[in-house]
Amino acid sequence: MASGTSRDVLGRGLRVLGRAIREQPRIFAVAVSGSVLFGLLVIASAYVVGGVVGDVVVPAVERGEVARGALALAATALFGISVLRVVGIFGRRLGAGYMQYRLQAAYRRRVTRRYLELPLAWHHRNSTGTLLSNANSDVEAAWYPIAPLPFAVGTLVMLVGAVASLFFTDWALALVGLAVFPALFALNVVYSRRMAPRQARAQRLRAEVSGIAHESFDGALVVKTMGREAQETARFASRAGELRDALISVGRLRGVFDPMLETLPSLGTLAVLVVGALRLREGAITVTELVSVAFLFTVLAFPVRAIGWVLAELPRSVAGWDRVRRVLDATGEMPYGTTTLDPATHEPATLAFDDVHFAYEPAEAHLPGAQVLGEVTFTVPAGKTVALVGPTGAGKSTIASLAVRLVDPGAGRITLDGVDVRELTAASLAATAALVAQVPFVFDDTVRANIALDRAGIGDDEVWAALRLAEADGFVAALPDGLDTMVGERGTSLSGGQRQRLTLARALAGRPRLLVLDDATSAVDPRVEAAILAGLRAPADGAPASILVVAYRRATIALADEVIYVEQGRVVARGTHTELLSTVPGYADLVTAYEQAEQEREQNRTYDEVTPLTSGLEVDR
């Protein structure tokens, strides 16, 4: 991501810091107070040391006698200063740590909450790797300069105090200070400007490396079965190499500037000694004053670095913040309406598509989106089952996502019981319509948690009832811990068909009034699939749901009250299965082709009804 000019980076970085301070003002105040206390005590310690040398050591050397009273006083003062410095450091460190980690936690929460609010269209455009790095390393990077910030602010106060005390002591020494301190500051600014592009690049590469890693682990099955290990490793290694080079170039710059930042105050000390010796000879200053100022320059060197730390981290912080803000400011969320459908009823709902058009958002904003659906009009009457049949890529999954409002149509209306789905509240929509997606998703949790999803009113009885309807009660009962069995990440300890039936049971447990099944039982034995659908159409405990089912198998399709045949995003024909078979050649061809494929498959593999728990690495279709 381009971060503009370096001057920009400084200004924008300071604004990011300003936001942090506005969000945690009290903790920041504690940390800065600690740091200012520390800074003032550093100056004080320099003058005490100067006093010890001027009033105790020099007389002792010159006259051979030690001023015991003065020595005791100085020792007490130094001890008191040290104790207070400890308090200052404690306050600063604790405050800075609290502030940094609180901000990180708060923004991680905000980013992940935003992910869930953003529409599917946004997620289609952003890889999982990017989302992971937004929530992790970008949030961390944004708040990185918070750690040294209180130290740096305290140091600024200390520098002002130091210059003031210099003027108080001697104008010539003050001039040395006025030359050295701004030079230190300027060097720090140059440093951070040089650093800006390097840090931004490193931050971008961090995201890319984690993206590649995530993709290869996610696609481990493909990588292994296709023998792509070497290429995947090479792809990862080349990007990891770029990251290494970027970080080394950051390190090289540090290597050049850090010693300069160390050296400058030492040169200042040298200048103080030269100028101070002359002033001492002129009688303008005392030994106490000269030693105090020289000592001041040596003890200033370290805290001044804190300003450099903040400035050096600013570019990375701005880069991270830009990426975080891109998520927080992303628009396109789908606002929900305020209408609710009767929450008490379990009567089936009527779904209607009225002249619906839809195009997926293009990958790049200036390109036109490809029209996927046009003039789609059909109804799923209350309590009826409608099958959606069509060749691959025809738009069946798109229709399914529209029906439960994962996406909104470009034109036309989709209604549930006559109410536009855009007018419904999120809760009402979720309670009314449930989608069982083409690719089942299972959480790394127990069977029970996967089905109930913490929804109110879903206890074990409801879970078992849903499992029975999904023909999944048998295998769940046979699992070692029943409902308490952990299913592994993405359900890896389950077979494909078991996973599908688990997600079906999850949808059924909410007793939806409209069930949308997107090829949801494809990995299940055809006989079991038909049994499931028959059970859904006439459940033992009363009202059936309205069902929109994407299906391929003749036995399944034949159960539907009506079949809608889609090709290339258009409804080409509708009627009963028997009618379409005799009147629509494309339909007959498709169903027959699927049937043949099914038979071949049946000969070559066994469904999970027959095989026991499989590794989860099987290919489902």
Ligand X SMILES: Nc1ncnc2c1ncn2[C@@H]1O[C@H](COP(=O)(O)OP(=O)(O)OP(=O)(O)O)[C@@H](O)[C@H]1O
At position 416, the amino acid (one-letter code) is L
Distance between CA atoms of residues 528 and 474, nearest Å: 12
Please state the closest distance from residue 517 (CB atom) to ligand X, in A.
12
Distance between CA atoms of residues 220 and 143, nearest Å: 34
x/- track of binding to ligand X for residues 97-136 (CB under 6 A): ---------------------------x------------
DSSP 360: P
Candidates 397, 415, 498, 503; binder of ligand X (CB under 6 A) is 397
Q: In what order do the strands lie in the sheet with 562-567?
A: 433-436, 514-518, 546-550, 385-389, 562-567, 570-575
Stretch that binds Mg ion, among 185-193, 267-275, 283-291, 433-441 (CB under 5 A): 433-441
Candidates 137, 188, 385, 397; binder of Mg ion (CB under 5 A) is 397
Please state the closest distance from residue 359 (CB atom) to Mg ion, in A.
17
DSSP 368: P
Please state the closest distance from residue 566 (CB atom) to ligand X, in A.
7
Name the residue among 390, 432, 440 with its Cα closest to residue 552: 390
Measured between its terminal Cα atoms, the distance across the chain in Å is 40
- Alpha carbon separation from 514 to 387, 501, 553 (Å, rounded): 13, 17, 21
Please state the closest distance from residue 591 (CB atom) to ligand X, in A.
14
Stretch that binds Mg ion, among 162-170, 253-261, 378-386, 394-402 (CB under 5 A): 394-402
x/- track of binding to ligand X for residues 413-452 (CB under 6 A): -------------------------x--------------
Pairing of strands 419-420, 411-416: antiparallel
Place of tokens 């929900």: 336
Stretch that binds ligand X, among 24-32, 236-244, 392-400, 439-447 (CB under 6 A): 392-400
Helix axes 287-328, 171-218, angle to 10 degrees: 30
Distance between CA atoms of residues 577 and 386, nearest Å: 10
For ligand X, the closer of residues 201 and 396 by Cβ is 396
Please state the closest distance from residue 493 (CB atom) to ligand X, in A.
26
Please state the closest distance from residue 374 (CB atom) to ligand X, in A.
12
For ligand X, the closer of residues 41 and 434 by Cβ is 434
Stretch that binds Mg ion, among 45-53, 232-240, 408-416, 438-446 (CB under 5 A): 438-446
Told to check if 553 binds ligand X by CB under 6 A, we report no
Task: Judge whether 518 and 452 are in contact, CB under 8 Å.
Answer: no
Distance between CA atoms of residues 308 and 314, nearest Å: 10
Stretch that binds Mg ion, among 47-55, 123-131, 138-146, 436-444 (CB under 5 A): 436-444
Stretch that binds ligand X, among 229-237, 302-310, 391-399, 464-472 (CB under 6 A): 391-399
Task: Judge whether 416 and 512 are in contact, CB under 8 Å.
Answer: no
Pairing of strands 385-389, 546-550: parallel
Tell me the residue ranges of DSSP E strands in 533-592: 546-550, 562-567, 570-575
How many chain residues bind ligand X (CB under 6 A)? 12
Residue 124 interacts with which of ligand X, Mg ion, none, CB < 5 to 8 Å by class: ligand X
Name the residue among 195, 459, 404, 173 with its Cα closest to residue 317: 195
DSSP 349: P
SS3 547: strand
Name the residue among 438, 459, 439 with its Cα closest to residue 448: 459
Stretch that binds Mg ion, among 103-111, 113-121, 391-399, 580-588 (CB under 5 A): 391-399
Task: Judge whether 551 and 387 are in contact, CB under 8 Å.
Answer: yes
Residue 393 interacts with which of ligand X, Mg ion, none, CB < 5 to 8 Å by class: ligand X
Told to check if 392 binds ligand X by CB under 6 A, we report yes
Candidates 135, 294, 372, 504; binder of ligand X (CB under 6 A) is 372
Told to check if 398 binds ligand X by CB under 6 A, we report yes
Candidates 360, 379, 425, 614; binder of ligand X (CB under 6 A) is 360
For ligand X, the closer of residues 392 and 615 by Cβ is 392
Please state the closest distance from residue 376 (CB atom) to ligand X, in A.
11
| Cβ-based neighbour number of residue 50 at 10 Å | 22
For ligand X, the closer of residues 331 and 392 by Cβ is 392
In terms of phi and psi (left: phi > 0; alpha: psi -120 to 50; beta: otherwise), the region of 440 is beta
Candidates 205, 209, 394, 551; binder of ligand X (CB under 6 A) is 394
How many chain residues bind Mg ion (CB under 5 A)? 2
SS3 609: coil
Please state the closest distance from residue 597 (CB atom) to ligand X, in A.
13
For ligand X, the closer of residues 305 and 499 by Cβ is 499
Binding footprint of Mg ion on the chain (CB under 5 A): 397, 438
Applying CB under 6 A, which residues contact ligand X? 124, 360, 372, 390, 392-398, 438
